[in-house]
Chain A
Amino acid sequence: MIPATFDYVRPSTLGEAAAALAEAGEDAKVLAGGQSLLPLLRLRLAYPSVLVDLGRVAELRGIEDRGDRLHIGAMTTHDEVVNSPLVNEHCPLLARATATVADPAIRHRGTFGGSLSHADPAGDLPSVALALDAEFRLASAAGERTVPAADFFADYLTTALEPDEILTGVSVPKLGPDWGCHYEKFHRTAQAWAIVGVAAAVRHSGGAVVEARIALTNMGATPVRAHAVESALAGVPLNGSGAGVREAALRADEGTNPPSDADAGADYRRHLAKVLTRRAVIAATSG
């Protein structure tokens, strides 16, 4: 690690953290698990003047049952999410998607809030948050606000967070037992990022889809909700030939703008989105 010089503060309350950020101004950066930020510092692709380390802010960590929703503190690690009984019971999509993030070492340090704030289009958790219509809690010295997932992801690596704001936590709806879910990640090695990912939660009863929530990873600068697939799936029968699901999934790339990069061409990503969406819906609704 050979980053440039920076100041470092380690507050122990959210209030202190927000004050430190307000004082430090535009060039300050929040440090969570460091799994995305530290590589940027090391390669000198980021030059923050101050790092505000949230590692000791206990109130930002943990998972709470809040009636029909779960609240997940921003500093909750991936590993804690994967192993949380609450998440596994009420929001298994998140647990399963998080289990595909990187490797155990990184999951022990990387945080849910850090992944969402970083908003890498190849990150697995933004699309899950979008599929679930998660609500983001943001705080600064000036106050707090709530931003819906649909408004949180603004652009490539860009979110609704102002420079002086901290993501404190995210609330996700509990999905009942009539929901099935699956995260279909397509990547080349176990530790590699997704070329394309599909987060699917499907409510079904009597052998047909009632309602679907589908969002795509790495099919644009931000996670994309596959609305066309969702509406095409409504009422589609799940037994039989599977033609309904197949046809609905063919609409997965509608409204997307996938990148062509060293990992994959845009046409290939469009193709994958369709295949993977079909597989995700089938996996979500079987067993």
Chain B
Amino acid sequence: MTELIERPAPEIGKARRRREDARLVTGRTRWTDNIQLPGMLHVAFLRSPMAHARILRVDVSAARELPGVVAAFTGADLGPEQGSLPCAWPVSEDVVIPAHPPVAVEEVRYVGEAVACVVATDRYRAADALEAIEVDYEPLDPVLDMEAALAPGSPGVRAGQSNKAFTWVFSQGEVDAAFAGAPVLIERTYVQQRLIPSAMEPRAVVCDRLGEDYTLHSATQIPHILRVMLALTTGIPEHRLRVIAPDVGGGFGSKLQVTAEEVVCLLLAKRLNRPVKWTESRSEGNLTVHHGRDQLQRISLAAESDGRIRGLKVDLLADMGAYLMLVTPGVPLLGAFMFPGIYKMAAYDFRCTGVFTTKMPTDAYRGAGRPEATFAIERVMDELAHELGIDPLEVRRRNWIEREEFPYTSVAGLVYDSGDYGAATDRATELLGYAALRAEQAERRARRDPVQLGIGISTYTEMCGLAPSRVLGSLAYGAGGWEHASVRMLPTGKVEVVTGSSPHGQGHETAWSQIVADTLGVPFEDVTVLHGDTAISPRGLDTYGSRSLTVGGIALLQACGRVREKAKSVAAHLLEADPGDVDFENGLFRVRGTDAVRSIQEIALAVFTAHNLPDGFEPRLDADATFDPENFSFPHGTHLCAVEVDTETGMSRIRSYVAVDDVGNVVNPLIVEGQVHGGIAQGIGQALFEEARYDEEGNLLTSTLADYLIPSAADLPDFVTERTQTPATSNPLGVKGVGEAGTIASTPAVVNAIVDALRPYGVHDVRMPCTPERVWRALEESR
């Protein structure tokens, strides 16, 4: 059999449109709320209107009598069976993990905490019934401010107990010596405001019971972890529980959680032996989806008079909210290693205190710890430059790790494998037109233009691709960081891929198909990707921390390699050649130097029929692989922006934005572009618009999208995005994560630009979000 094969363009690197998008953007898909099961009931939760109160009485009897109501339960009715919502990251010896019943029993500790639930024949009747529930509360003091919460005599989130959740410290080098006698000392305090991760798809749960078997559908990022945690906390054995994350519409960390609603729906399906559904409304979500950020950062930097950094000290207060949820206390730790950023220094001291308050618990939100760290160091680098009268790019240049110094062990102990900070920065300054903008800035300053121009810089790196299991273990995280994939060759030569990674908007189905197409030499269209169902994909650790490609993608690559090796031995057998003489290219096995070939599809069929296989060959080509990375991945880049600040009104307008990111090799540039755009938008959201605000009684003031402002396309400039490409050395694809980089980089770029615009007025900081009113007040105060 001879054929002239044209070498197809490789799939890896092709800007393919995402194959899953048609169904996702039209909504004709398996969103959890689209699921309808016969006899399904609807759940609604009564939520606390008080930030802190003792529950004296909850009476659901009138609700039970209403038409259409099937059941109503208080926390006490659910009893010990509801267990305690898990925290899987006990960060330190001294960590306090309070009991956290899904439906409160004795006390409520934040506005929105569930106090009762109703099950009815439709969601309208369920909502009506909530109004018939009577609750008597005895108000207790709310605890809202972290510093006050730690002061002696503060009311406790739990009576008689300290509001301190934990302390975690890290120190490297001679910190005291670095600070003693340092020519330059910069000390600043920054506030990372509380944010609400606003995934487009609200959370939803559908739970079905069949005999002793349960199927829980949830809009979750973590079906595998959820299954394990629910088995551990509810007593429903793991093998009786199937968790399905159908198509999931965004998460940003907010669906990396084991929620009260998931646990309660499971219990309700068990007790009532009927399928139940719960879907949150947006305002319910703003109250009760875990929040993000909320840190008070004290940062001190000691430097030489030429700007070289001697040492860094960071003292953080991190608001935990009322309880520790799945990885609540671990979020600031993910930042602990990133405060030194891309800079060389000999000494670093980090301390974090977790603080309980009567607010919604915080947890992972896009970037989780790294945006906070990057913000603080990049803000301080600008302060250092200002102090010394050096250009802020130059001060960074004097401190950053040079390309020939990689691999480089940072002062925080991370081994940065590769990078080229100079290349990214040079390209970014060129794209922005840095010099021309500086000239325009000088000109506007000189004529005291009411509209001032600021240039913002953010040169970042971050650790992602979570993570080496051993490292996670050393940080007391409750799980590993490997990922699993399996590849099934079907008799007709098509390929089914099963991934343990759990997409919720990232485009796995496209990227994974590209990897398979190149490694097995099959057409892109011949691959299908299965995910998000513990019955179909039993092994996995899900999607968060920009880990899908750098961990899950590598598992897939390895599984494909195994399939190929097996196929090769069959091909050699059929071609009557030594496997060592058989080459594989573009889906064809060829005896070297001959025209004798077999396609991988022919091999698949031959293995299916099993009529003529090598002796002892088990008739299947399928293979799987589990990959545990040896290191994190360290994407980096330089983001620059120009912001016009109207000093009369305080309004900031981003005029231009340039991002040059280095995410190593790229499987699909279009997907990378999408991640960068969305990431930048979300980071700008923190810089300019978003803030979860509680009043002095602990009521959330931003419970709707009319109050919690997120940017839309109309509020954002065109982003100029480019890449430099320094392959990762820690994985065979040379890829680095890209899911969070944009968010990590953009927030300080924007705030630095605003401050840069305002320096001639004596303004050296503006608290986020930099609303027009805050900018105006900062100007008023310094006038």
Contacts and interface: CB of A to CB of B under 8 A. Distances in A.
Contact of A2 (B124, B651, B711, B712): B124
Contacts of A195: 772
A255 B704 CA distance: 32
Interface in B676-733: 689, 693, 701-702, 704, 706-707, 709-712, 714-715
18 contacts: A2-B123, A2-B127, A2-B281, A3-B124, A4-B131, A5-B124, A5-B128, A43-B704, A103-B714, A188-B771, A188-B772, A189-B711, A190-B712, A190-B715, A192-B706, A262-B702, A275-B648, A276-B649
Given A2-B124, A189-B712, A190-B712, A268 B707 contact: no
Interface string A249-275: 000000000000010110010011001
Interface string A15-42: 0000000000000000000000001001
A98 to B, nearest CB: 17
Interface of A: 2-5, 39, 42-44, 103, 186, 188-193, 195, 262, 264-265, 268, 271-272, 275-276
Nearest to B702: A262
A4 B707 CA distance: 24
B777 interface: yes
Interface in B642-666: 648-649, 651
Contacts of A39: 704
Contacts of B608: none
Given A5-B124, A189-B689, A275-B649, A268 B776 contact: yes
A192 B131 CA distance: 31
Given A189-B709, A189-B711, A268 B689 contact: no
Contacts of A264: 773
Interface string B122-159: 01100110010000000000000000000000000000
Contacts of B273: none
B124 A272 contact: no
Contact of B709 (A188, A272, A275): A188
A76 B391 CA distance: 56
Contact of B281 (A42, A190, A275): A42
A276 B650 CA distance: 12
B143 to A, nearest CB: 21
- For the complex of A and B, 9 pairs with smallest distance between CB atoms: A190-B714, A2-B127, A189-B715, A275-B648, A189-B709, A268-B773, A262-B701, A264-B773, A190-B715
Nearest to A265: B773
Contact of A188 (B283, B648, B689, B704): B689
B695 to A, nearest CB: 9
Interface size class of B (residues with CB under 8 A): 20 to 34
Which label, helix, strand, loop or mixed, suits the secondary structure of the B interface? loop
B452 to A, nearest CB: 15
Nearest to B691: A262
* Residue among A3, A5, A192 with max Cβ neighbours from chain B (10 Å): A192
B698 to A, nearest CB: 15
Contacts of A191: 712, 714
A246 to B, nearest CB: 11
A276 B649 CA distance: 9
Given A103-B714, A195-B772, 20 more contacts: A2-B123, A2-B124, A2-B127, A4-B127, A4-B128, A42-B281, A43-B704, A44-B127, A186-B651, A188-B772, A189-B711, A189-B715, A190-B712, A190-B714, A190-B715, A191-B712, A192-B709, A264-B773, A271-B776, A276-B649
Contacts of A271: 776
Contacts of B127: 2, 4, 44
Contact of A43 (B283, B651, B710, B714): B283
Contacts of B124: 2-5
B683 to A, nearest CB: 16
A73 B403 CA distance: 69
A275 B128 CA distance: 48
A230 B124 CA distance: 52
A191 B716 CA distance: 13
Contacts of A275: 648-649
A55 to B, nearest CB: 22
B649 A186 contact: yes
B559 to A, nearest CB: 45
Nearest to A264: B773
Contacts of A2: 123-124, 127, 281
A240 to B, nearest CB: 19
* Residue among B131, B283, B648 with max Cβ neighbours from chain A (10 Å): B648
Contacts of B281: 2, 42
Nearest to A196: B649
B770 to A, nearest CB: 11
A201 B111 CA distance: 47
Contacts of A193: 706
Contacts of B283: 43
Given A2-B127, A268-B776, A271-B776, A262 B649 contact: no
Contact of A262 (B128, B707, B714): B707
A265 B128 CA distance: 37
Interface in B469-510: none
B25 to A, nearest CB: 16
Contacts of B649: 186, 272, 275-276
A210 B693 CA distance: 47
